[in-house]
């Protein structure tokens, strides 16, 4: 994908920790996506995500697991300041202001699907079944999504991509 083109991502969140409804009620329907402590995902947050990129909001560790809606990145990767706060659960003593280890982005809610898209639906769709989140052993909290996959999810949800 050429620089400057809109990219797409899938962000996993356990709904009992932070759900799409929590995003919908957040001030400005906006939040920082902090606390990621995986180097591969950190690199995507820091290097690849840009303002305007689309986000599929995925509820994990719940039955059924679903894509509950969409968000958009409104602030690209910046140092996760929670890593510097010794009182915070995301504190990392190795991270410093001069040399941050961890990054985050800000997202804003775009759409809550009236009918969330289940893993079963994804599995049965020719395009969506190829998504990284569907791979056996997929543990990353954020994965890239192709434009075709983005469109397939919206079709399954019965909505137009915004």
Contact 78, 103 (CB under 8 A): yes
pLDDT score for 137: 83
Contact 116, 67 (CB under 8 A): yes
Q: Are strands 66-79 and 54-59 parallel, antiparallel or unpaired?
A: antiparallel
Q: Which residues pair with 143 in a beta bridge?
A: 10
Domains and CATH numbers, the chain: 8-157 (3.10.590.10)
Angle (nearest 5°) at CA 144 between 139 and 25: 85
Collapsing DSSP to helix, strand or coil, 98 comes out as coil
pLDDT per residue of the chain (162 residues) written in tens, 0 to 9:
455 689 999 999 999 999 999 999 999 999 999 999 999 999 999 999 999 999 999 999 999 999 999 999 999 999 999 999 999 999 999 999 999 999 999 999 999 999 999 999 999 999 999 999 999 888 899 999 999 999 999 999 999 986
How many helices (H) and strands (E) would you count in the chain? 4, 6
């Amino acid at each position: 994908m050429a620089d400057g083109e809109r990219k797409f991502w899938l962000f996993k969140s356990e709904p009992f920790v932070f759900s799409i409804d929590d995003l919908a009620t957040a001030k400005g329907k906006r939040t920082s996506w902090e606390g990621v402590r995986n180097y591969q995902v950190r690199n995507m947050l820091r290097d690849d995500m840009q303002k305007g990129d689309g986000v599929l909001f995925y509820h994990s560790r719940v039955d059924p697991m679903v894509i509950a809606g969409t968000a958009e990145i409104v602030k690209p990767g910046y140092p996760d300041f929670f890593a510097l706060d010794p009182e915070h659960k995301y504190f990392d003593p190795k991270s410093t202001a001069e040399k941050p280890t961890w990054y985050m982005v800000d997202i804003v809610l775009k759409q809550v699907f009236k009918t969330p898209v289940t893993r079963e639906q994804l599995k049965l769709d020719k395009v969506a079944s190829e998504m990284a989140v569907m791979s056996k052993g997929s543990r990353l909290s954020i994965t890239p999504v192709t434009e075709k996959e983005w469109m397939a999810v919206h079709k399954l949800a019965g909505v137009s991509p915004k």
